[in-house]
């Protein structure tokens, strides 16, 4: 598995990013930039070619590109984020998508959809009902992806669906059953272990803050790449938030 990884460097206002379920902590912009470079390097080392979205220094949450775009094969669904202050992030992502020559569609007002609420596992697309994604957004996504099985998921006390649950390369769901109404979850050893980026058929990217989960996944036969994203975790970010993978 390989392709393009859409990413955006953090701007100097990243410390002002939205925090919903955590107490605000100071965020070091310079350290965040170093961590982002290491994150991108890890993607590149695993066969994903970095493509940078235009800088958005006036938009604190800009590096969390996942919320602006959902890829389904070669179709790009440009979202309408639930937080109004994040909606200006979408246009520069739309431009990046156009430059890739990928067909794009959009979630239209008044519906809202954050990409962090969309988890794709084979033909199934799980979508979290959250403060950022509403029923109209889910309805529109269902209509835009007629060949997929879109399944709404109820959430509890968590920002996005993928803040609670992601999927391993073999389709096994890993996450916290107390936060999402999904059955048969593999429970991670640490909260950050619920967040994995699938890099290949046997490879995943995981936060360095989940070493016990990394060991558990390695025992299950997966190759685990660990990255430090502590500055982004202070803003409720996780490894999935910082990129959108576009497979070849």
pLDDT > 90: what percent of the chain? 96
* Tokens linked to 31: 């350290």
Q: Is 160 a catalytic residue?
A: yes
pLDDT > 70: what percent of the chain? 100
Domains delineated in the chain:
3-247 (3.75.10.10)
Q: Are 163 and 148 in contact (CB under 8 A)?
A: no
Which residue of the set 36, 195, 238, 241 is catalytic?
241
105 band by pLDDT with thresholds 50, 70 and 90: very high
The residue-averaged pLDDT of 164-178 equals 97
Which residue of the set 160, 183, 195, 238 is catalytic?
160
Q: Quick one: pLDDT at residue 22?
A: 84
Indicate whether 248 pLDDT > 90.
no
pTM value surpassing 0.85: yes
**Where do the DSSP E strands lie in the chain?**
3-7, 48-52, 69-72, 75-78, 103-106, 118-121, 124-129, 149-154, 165-167, 173-175, 196-200, 203-207, 223-227, 244-247
23 band by pLDDT with thresholds 50, 70 and 90: confident
The rounded mean pLDDT for the chain is 96
Q: Is 238 a catalytic residue?
A: no
């Amino acid at each position: 598995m390989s392709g393009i990884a859409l990413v955006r460097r953090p701007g100097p206002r990243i410390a002002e990013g939205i925090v919903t379920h955590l107490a605000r902590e100071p965020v070091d912009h310079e350290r965040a930039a170093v961590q982002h470079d290491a994150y991108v390097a890890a993607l590149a080392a695993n066969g994903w070619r970095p493509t940078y979205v235009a800088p958005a220094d006036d938009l604190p949450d800009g590096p969390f590109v996942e919320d602006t775009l959902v890829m389904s094969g070669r179709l790009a669904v440009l979202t309408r984020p639930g937080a109004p202050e994040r909606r200006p992030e979408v246009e520069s992502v739309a431009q990046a998508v156009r430059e890739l020559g990928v067909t794009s569609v959009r979630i239209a007002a008044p519906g809202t959809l954050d990409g962090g609420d969309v988890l794709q596992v084979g033909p199934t697309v799980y979508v979290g009902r959250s403060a950022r994604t509403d029923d109209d957004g889910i309805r529109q996504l269902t209509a835009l992806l007629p060949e997929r099985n879109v399944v709404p998921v109820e959430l509890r006390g968590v920002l996005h669906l993928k803040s609670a649950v992601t999927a391993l390369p073999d389709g096994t769901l890993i996450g916290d059953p107390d936060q999402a109404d999904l059955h048969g979850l593999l429970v991670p050893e640490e909260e950050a272990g619920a967040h994995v980026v699938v890099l290949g058929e046997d490879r995943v990217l995981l936060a360095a803050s989940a070493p016990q989960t990394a060991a558990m996944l390695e025992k299950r036969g997966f190759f685990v790449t660990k990255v430090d994203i502590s500055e982004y975790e202070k803003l409720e970010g996780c490894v999935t938030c910082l990129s959108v993978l576009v497979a070849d």
